[in-house]
Amino acid sequence: MAAKGEAADDHRASGPDDAPALPPDHQPEHEGRRGSRAMAWAAGAFCAVFTGWVVVHAGSPHQRELLSDLAPLPLGLAAWATALRAGSRTGADPASRRAWRRIAAAFILWWLADAAWFAQEVVLQRPPFPSPADIGYLASYPVLAWGLLSLPGARRLRAEWLRVALDAVTVLLAAAMVVWYLVVGPSVHNAPGTLVTALNVAYPVGDLLLLFAAAAVMLGGPRRERSLWLLLGGTAALVVADVAYARLSLSDSYAGGDWPDVFWILAQALFVVAAVNHRHPPRHVRPQSSRTAQSRLSNLPYAAVVLGYGLLFAVGRSEASYSLNGLLVGAGLITAVVMARQIRVTAENGHLLGQLHYLAEVDGLTSILNRRSFFEAGGHLIAWAREAGRPLTVLMIDVDHFKQVNDTFGHAAGDEVLTVVAALTKSQLRDSDLVGRYGGDELAVVIPDCLVQRGLDVAERIQAAVAHAAVLTSDGVVRVSLSVGVAEARDSTDLTTALARADAALYQAKQAGRGCARAVA
């Protein structure tokens, strides 16, 4: 409806990190971030070279054993260092920092175990299993699971978390069936020794704990962070390596430099890249449509049920009697029908739940955040800005002479004006910016990583977009102007205080004749 200038394009294209010039105390952080990116590239290259070495099967058995024991040490140390940096990065929310520090603790435990394994097998020429290395390995599983479960996610009701827990347990049970068939069952059956048997069972239990944590994270809410999926991918690679190593060890067919080592190296490389890709500026959760909410319903628990029954059929077909085979088929068909019904009910409930969430968070007229949701999301941004020492600016927007519009053209025309003003305001903002309906004909905007002068520039662009717009109504064309108050949050402890300063600036704009923007530093 209104053309945007080059300045608007620049504002929208720039992310939160490049909005203001960074103060001197933030320059070392950016230098460290460039170093972390270089470490991520190096980790990826290291993984690729190691994979090629395993594929070509180069070197003598002794050389392959030496390199397979040595390779995890530098990569594991890099995973710990980058995770520790992610856990101490200024700007991250406290929950995220705590989670990454716990993940870093798991990585250093794993690295100490790798170092002990290397010392035992290469330096001391002793069997590394069982050995003190097992203490570090086994201790890392619950710590890593704790870190994964600590990662912040979407807010959910208690009933929803119960569903997530049940879905995660479903995935866990299916994985337990596979692990039992491949590793635990044969280990217990062969029983070479009490300690060895206990360790052979303990490692799969640790893997199942990681799988449960990963499933809970995946099912727990809308997650878009690339670092999270890289972290989960590394966890999956770790589990694959553990199970494959245990399976090969049962038949004494594992040797240093075999393919499970590739997955251990891949896991550590993914951990490094995940920590480097962890981004600190929080993005508020925008309302999602019911269609989007419905599309997010996970099929993972149903796939787990199919996996469990598939394994049961594969084993039962060759080992069970004819009568048990028929019962297995019947049980599978009954489960399939119940699953189909459950999927249908879940989809319908998800559609309704998505509609309820949308109506609870969005202003029905303007399709922007309502007052409650705006204050909730804006409060998080204010807290982040204070903790990170980053600038944040708020805007209060008022439609000039809005009562006259209602009196002259009717309330339907006034509603259309508010809808157009809200749409044009959003068009001049970035994805990381926040806009909501404050009340009546007033809108409020929160712009993270923004100094007051840039906030004033944004306000003027919004004013220009609205001034050039023409709202068509049944009674004629309506043109309106805006008065805008701009204030930097500075030492504001909450969003209400910051908006009060912007409201004072808005009063100055009205006193100056309306149709202008005024700022309070």
Q: Specify the pTM.
A: 0.64
| 149 and 213 Cβ atoms separated by less than 8 Å | yes
* The predicted structure's pLDDT at residue 50: 94
Q: CATH number for 23-280: choose from 1.20.1070, 3.40.50, 2.60.40, 2.40.50.
A: 1.20.1070
pLDDT surpasses 60 at 296:
no
For the chain, the domains span 23-280, 288-361, 366-520
What does the block give as tokens for 401? 């002479």
More confident residue, 307 or 509: 509
- What number is the average pLDDT over the span 143-159? 78
280 pLDDT band (50/70/90 cuts)? very low
More confident residue, 196 or 222: 196
Q: What is the CA radius of gyration of the chain?
A: 29
d(CA 364, CA 345): 27
Phi-psi region of 221 (alpha: psi -120 to 50; beta: other; left: phi over 0): left
CATH 3.30.70.270 fits 366-520, yes or no: yes
In the chain, the N- to C-terminal Cα span, in Å, equals 32
Phi-psi region of 411 (alpha: psi -120 to 50; beta: other; left: phi over 0): alpha
Tell me the HSE value of 91 on the side-chain side, using a 13 A CA sphere. 19
d(CA 309, CA 495): 53
Mean pLDDT score of the chain: 81
- What number is the average pLDDT over the span 27-48? 73
pLDDT surpasses 60 at 47:
yes
- Are 23-280 and 366-520 the same fold in CATH? no
| 445 and 435 Cβ atoms separated by less than 8 Å | yes
d(CA 137, CA 108): 10
Length of the chain: 521
